[in-house]
Structure 1
């Protein structure tokens, strides 16, 4: 019985995920307009800081300085995610939800 549920779960997962190449098509470049949303100033500041960090020459830095930069990048990314007003689900959470749905239905 366990093998049947395992095979059923694998079949559903393999059929629900479509390869991206099948869906790929050429997109025409579109001009970005600022009519829909304006980027807040604090987000622009954070994005500019991330660009500065990316363009830095990190080969001359000490390991403690690199560690501090990594912490800063993580903090900036966390802050940017929190301002996104979106719902984020991790892969583990999605798998747990799918397993619960399979078990309950």
Structure 2
């Protein structure tokens, strides 16, 4: 129990000081200011529609090779969207809260 309470104390310490440290760091590039070209916006819409198609697929009827190909395609799509600056990012505090909820529920 002591180890768990020490772990929580350290995590809360990190979450308390992380926003202040991130705010004082100089910004190298601001991804929110990055405007997409019309071609990139069109490609992003194609990617979104493909991801929706993949989400609606029935993986139980697919072979392992087909599932592997879909996973490889999704990894490529993820890399492409990160290059465009449209990736999904989680903060450290959000990850810690998710982990704490999972620990408390189990």
| TM-score (norm. length: structure 2) | 0.47
In our comparison, the structure showing a higher alpha carbon Rg is 1
Kindly indicate whether structure 1 or structure 2 has the higher relative contact order, using CA contacts under 8 Å at least 6 residues apart: 2
